[in-house]
Structure 1
Amino acid sequence: MSDNYLLKLYHKVLKWPFGRQIFARMFAAKAPYFKTIKPTITELRENYCELTLPKRKAVHNHIGTVHAIALCNGLEMAMGAMAEASIPKHLRWIPKGMTVNYTAKADSDIRITAEVDPSKWHPGDLDVIVNGYRADGKVVITGTITIYISEKPPRKA
């Protein structure tokens, strides 16, 4: 198993009843707006994260589908968990930009994925591919989140 702190926590919490939901709440506490979508991280490994975002009234838009910003929050949460679970220890990351395309009505629970090529973890820009899928498998949102990667500064003694 990886020595990554987030992956260790994920695998520890998975052993608990409702572990996936508990882990998602713990992770969402780092960025409280993630709590608004009530996500569940269903899979987390190096270079990949999958979560589900339930379709519920609190995230509906005026036509009763999942709101665009709720979808974007899901994309950003999946990307953030994937990045934290994957980045080498000597590097750090920060979001730089996000482009999205809404491709179909989000009229069910949404499964969101974030994935990156493992060879791309080095200083500079890294484009993370993020996608959201309806229950029938239809893509409802596609995107790229660009993160800036840099070396961690040396620790002061």
Structure 2
Amino acid sequence: MSQVLTMWTKVSPLPLGERVFSLLFAQKAPYFASIRPRFTLIEPNRAELVIPKRRRVHNHLGTVHAIALCNGLEAAMGALAEATIPADKRWIPQGMEVAYTAKATSDITCIAETDAEQWTGSDPNLPVRVRGVRDDGTVVIEGVIRLWVTPRK
């Protein structure tokens, strides 16, 4: 089991465990701290986190800024990748394609998903499906983050 999944499994059930895990995760990649992600689920092939709607992540319209949304999607993807990747492989992001589909007027749940067979094939190109959802269920951003998955040296 990966370090991220091990830490999630141990810490998340504790009181304030999700918050503690989220702070620790943001220390690994400090830019993620700018959105104050709160992870709610990490398991192989799926990760979810919430970006709280607060002034620091607003755009000029008072909604969650598009780049803050992308930051949340990338954090969810990173947790998914770490929780899912076979021990003999490594990953690096290659790019992100997203569409902004509605205003982000509430907290946003960022979701990253893959299928198990994507990690066992020989194709190093691995698309991770990502989306951000408002409290009312409306998808505000969706797309793909492309990973390059290769054997560990």
Q: TM-score normalized by structure 2?
A: 0.96
Q: How many residues align?
A: 151
**Aligned 1:56-67 pairs, distance under 5 A:** 56-67=54-65
Higher mean Cα deviation, 116-125 or 74-83? 116-125
Cα distance in 2 for residues equivalent to 1:113 and 1:15: 20
Task: Let me know the Cα RMSD of the aligned residues.
Answer: 0.9
Q: Does 1:99 align with 2:97?
A: yes
Larger Rg: 1
Unpaired runs of 5+ residues, structure 2, are: none
Cα distance in 2 for residues equivalent to 1:97 and 1:15: 33
SS in 1 for 2:64: coil
Equivalent of residue 69 in structure 1, options 62, 67, 73? 67
Cα distance in 1 for residues equivalent to 2:29 and 2:6: 20
Aligned sequence identity (%):
52
User: Counterpart in 1 of 2:145?
Assistant: 145
How far has the Cα of 1:16 moved from its partner? 2.5
Unpaired runs of 5+ residues, structure 1, are: none
**Aligned 1:45-124 pairs, distance under 5 A:** 45-121=43-119, 122-123=121-122, 124=124
Cα distance in 2 for residues equivalent to 1:33 and 1:87: 23
**Aligned 1:10-29 pairs, distance under 5 A:** 10-29=8-27
How far has the Cα of 1:17 moved from its partner? 1.9
